Amino acid sequence: MSDQPNNGPIMLSATSVLKQGPAKIGSITKQVKLPRTILLKTFVSMIAYGFIGLIIGLIVGGLKPMLYSTMIFSAGAYFATNYSPLRGETLSKYIGLSIKAQRERKYINGKLVKIYVGIVPISRPALGKFVLWPGGINVSSTNYDERGVLINKKYATTTEPKNGDGEIT
């Protein structure tokens, strides 16, 4: 522990340690065990979409369409819940973000534009009419690195060029 005496209550913040992961399933019954654990939401979606595929297969008619539609719908559900085009996000979240981005497009004089403040895109501009004014300020190139990130002046080792040829002296 510590060498200092305890002067009051101590709070331990361990939420990431105590937080449980998503629910997983490893067996369906005592006799039917899965080869590996899968997420419960994946299992439920595969069952639900497999049932939808089963009904569609029965409507189409025959054993083969019923089996194929059940397998295809279940595989589609597995893909939709596990494929991650954005790191840590599901396919449904990605589709939702894509639809939201399509709805929030802005047109100026009939041309599609993206609105930025500096290098940051505006995700939610004000509703109604807005006016864009061009502008800018002079910024010393030694205050920023090659990515455009501000260099902390306390730790910066470069100085302004003294001669006019751009060399740092």
**Mean pLDDT for the stretch of residues 121-146:** 69
More confident residue, 9 or 50: 50
Q: What angle do CA 28, 30, 34 make, to 5 degrees?
A: 45
Contacts of 45 (CB under 8 A, 6+ apart): 77, 78, 80, 81
Q: What angle do CA 13, 15, 16 make, to 5 degrees?
A: 120
pLDDT of residue 36: 85
pLDDT of residue 109: 76
More confident residue, 124 or 37: 37
Angle of the 63-82 helix axis to the 40-60 helix axis, nearest 10: 150
Q: What is the DSSP letter of 21?
A: -
Q: What are phi and psi of 24, to 5 degrees?
A: -125, 160
pLDDT of residue 138: 73
pLDDT of residue 169: 43
pLDDT of residue 32: 86
Model confidence, pTM:
0.47
pLDDT of residue 49: 93
pLDDT surpasses 60 at 27: yes
pLDDT tens digits along 37-56: 888 888 899 999 999 999 99
pLDDT tens digits along 67-88: 999 999 999 998 888 888 877 7
pLDDT surpasses 80 at 159: no
pLDDT of residue 75: 93
3-state helix, strand, coil split of the chain in percent (to 5) is 35, 15, 50
CA nearest neighbour of 69 among 55, 80, 79: 55
Instruction: Tell me the percentage of the chain whose pLDDT exceeds 90.
Output: 17
